Amino acid sequence: MTLRVVVADDQALVRAGFRMILTADGIEVVAEVADGAAAIEAVRRTRPDVVLMDIRMPEMDGLEATRRLLADGNDELRVIILTTFDLDHYVYAALSAGASGFLLKDVTPEHLVAAVRMVRAGDALLAPAITRRLVERFGRRDTDSAAIHRDLSTLTPRELEVLRLLAQGLSNAELAAHLQLSEATVKTHVARILAKLGLRDRVQAVIVAYEAGLVSPTRSDTIPRFADRKDTV
């Protein structure tokens, strides 16, 4: 089945460039729009798999459009936030609202295609350590963010331990080695954590862990670049 994408950006050259890159790799661009309101209408009309959403657009920005789309019962829809600014504070709010990750607009063609395919497969595009840096910089003072609040008491002690390690940036393989479990068991634990807390992906799980105080955002860990892990939950 062909992967279907809506591109929302107020710059015509950006839209055209992304369309050329995606279609050259067999991905169908079903709509190109220049503002958030048009993005919402295009998604409702075309039912895409992924939206590439610019964060700064006229009329309605990408943040508000993302909030409305992901609150509209689009459980299978994945939104990737586009920005020209690394760690723009709006990105944190968009991730809290349910976006699956973010890309800088100068992303390479290979990474753009990989990102779209990655989130469509259910992966989180954003490395947990990058989310941690976003939480540290913006999470405690961004009053406009749609902060995620979840009751961690629903988790078992083992699930809490998995969530804490996941928030520190460990992959499924690293979690399995640390906990002396199989990767299949780790994936089951992660899936249960997401289901119990009503979360879309690992990105939101990391945000929850830090906002709930399960882990501290002040640790100085190595921050990886573009997330290239293939963890499936």
Q: What is the mean pLDDT of residues 136-151?
A: 56
Look-up: residue for tokens 């995620």?
148
Residue 163 to residue 48: CA distance in whole angstroms: 31
Apex 62 CA angle, 171 and 81, nearest 5: 25
Beta-carbon count within 10 A of 58 CB:
10
Residue 143: closest CA among 97, 93, 101:
93
pLDDT of 86: 65
Look-up: residue for tokens 């990391």?
206
Could you tell me which residue, 51 or 146, shows the higher pLDDT? 51
Could you tell me which residue, 37 or 143, shows the higher pLDDT? 37
Domain ranges for the chain: 4-122
Identify the weakest region by mean pLDDT among 99-103, 205-209, 229-233. Answer: 229-233
Classify residue 162 as exposed, middle or buried by CB count within 10 Å of its CB (0-12, 13-18, 19+): buried
pLDDT of 227: 40
Q: What is the pLDDT of residues 84-110, one digit of tens each?
A: 776 567 777 777 778 888 888 888 999
**Structure confidence at residue 221 as a pLDDT band (50, 70, 90):** very low
Pick the CATH number of 4-122 from 3.10.20.30, 3.40.50.1970, 3.40.50.2300, 3.90.1150.10: 3.40.50.2300
Could you tell me which residue, 213 or 13, shows the higher pLDDT? 13
Assess contact for 32 and 15: CB atoms under 8 A.
yes
Residue 32 to residue 42: CA distance in whole angstroms: 8
Which residues on adjacent β-strands are paired with residue 104?
Answer: 83
pLDDT of 75: 77
Residue 85 to residue 54: CA distance in whole angstroms: 11
Assess contact for 130 and 107: CB atoms under 8 A.
no
Q: What is the pLDDT of residues 8-33, one digit of tens each?
A: 999 999 999 999 999 999 999 999 99
**Percent of the chain whose predicted confidence (pLDDT) is above 90:** 42
Q: What is the mean pLDDT of residues 67-85?
A: 85
What average pLDDT does the chain have? 82
Residue 44: partners with Cβ closer than 8 Å, 6 or more residues away: 72
Identify the weakest region by mean pLDDT among 41-50, 80-89, 121-130, 182-191. Answer: 121-130
Q: What is the pLDDT of residues 159-179, one digit of tens each?
A: 999 999 888 877 788 889 999
Residue 25: partners with Cβ closer than 8 Å, 6 or more residues away: 113
